[in-house]
Amino acid sequence: MSEDRRIHVLGICGSLRQNSYNMAALRAAVELRPPGMTIEIADISAFPLYNEDVRAQGFPPSVERLRAQIKAADALLFACPEYNYSMSGVLKNAIDWASRPPDQPFAGKPAAIMGAAAGMAGSARAQSDLRRACVFLDIHPLNKPEVLIGQAQTKFDAEGRLIDEAARGFIRDMLVALAAWTRQLAPRN
């Protein structure tokens, strides 16, 4: 992938809450993205719970849309909340749906992971679980820099804008690294 080609990133948020800190972090990423990068945010809110009997009848339209978005993206950006020391059921459900055969779209995709949580660890345990799923899915997550927005309730204003300058800097740095990682992993033409 040439240095001048735009990188298209698909953001996937693991929270459906209207005032989600993780969705706010994704919006901050859109604002902080480096030149030459676009970020589209997927909508996983209409996904039914994964059921193989339903899938056997065909993918629901919302799932087909996500699968097409993943396939078209150069890279992925997960905003990973932490529920009960793990990734949210919403995120796991979206991954389970999108990853079913045929043509599993995650394979070979570079990805970055960030997360915001009320606790001090800022979704570290959830991100670890997501990284384990990445191994099986053949997603290539960026290792550094990590973006762990702890005590999220103090890092965003009432309108959901990320106001913590350190966190904004980590997101900015992560996106620059994701661009470089995506170019490094891209097949040579």
For residue 1, tell me if it sits in a domain. Answer: no
Quick one: pLDDT at residue 187? Answer: 72
Quick one: pLDDT at residue 188? Answer: 53
Number of compact structural domains in the chain: 1
For residue 178 the two structure tokens come to: 């994701």
Pairing label, strands 86-87, 82-83 = antiparallel
Work out the mean pLDDT of the chain and round it to a whole number: 95
For residue 2, tell me if it sits in a domain. Answer: no
- Which helix or strand (DSSP H or E) is residue 40 part of? strand 37-41
**pLDDT(16) > 60:** yes
**pLDDT(174) > 90:** yes
pLDDT digits (tens, 9 = 90+) for 124-163: 999 999 999 999 999 999 999 999 999 999 999 999 999 9
For residue 119 the two structure tokens come to: 């606790």
Quick one: pLDDT at residue 161? Answer: 97
pLDDT band at 1 (very low <50, low <70, confident <90, very high): low
For residue 176, tell me if it sits in a domain. Answer: yes
Give this prediction's pTM. Answer: 0.96
User: Which CATH number characterizes residue 115's domain?
Assistant: 3.40.50.360
User: Domain span at residue 155?
Assistant: 7-185
φ/ψ of 82, rounded to 5, equals -120, 120
Q: What average pLDDT score do residues 15-23 get?
A: 95
Question: DSSP for 58-120?
Answer: ---HHHHHHHHHHHH-SEEEEE--EETTEE-HHHHHHHHHHTPSSS-TTTT-EEEEEEE-SST
Long-range contacts of 22-26 (CB under 8 A, 24+ apart): 22/79, 22/80, 22/81, 22/115, 22/116, 23/79, 23/160, 24/116, 24/156, 24/160, 24/161, 24/162, 25/79, 25/114, 25/115, 25/116, 25/147, 25/149, 25/162, 25/167, 25/171, 26/77, 26/79
How far apart (Å, rounded) are the C-alpha atoms in residues 123 and 128? 9
For residue 156, tell me if it sits in a domain. Answer: yes
Q: What average pLDDT score do residues 52-76 get?
A: 97
How far apart (Å, rounded) are the C-alpha atoms in residues 55 and 167? 39
**pLDDT(3) > 80:** no
For residue 173, tell me if it sits in a domain. Answer: yes
pLDDT band at 189 (very low <50, low <70, confident <90, very high): very low
Pairing label, strands 147-149, 110-116 = parallel
How far apart (Å, rounded) are the C-alpha atoms in residues 78 and 61? 21
Q: What average pLDDT score do residues 106-114 get?
A: 98
How far apart (Å, rounded) are the C-alpha atoms in residues 147 and 167? 7
Quick one: pLDDT at residue 5? Answer: 83
Least-confidence region, from 2-16, 79-93, 147-161: 2-16
Q: What average pLDDT score do residues 56-82 get?
A: 97
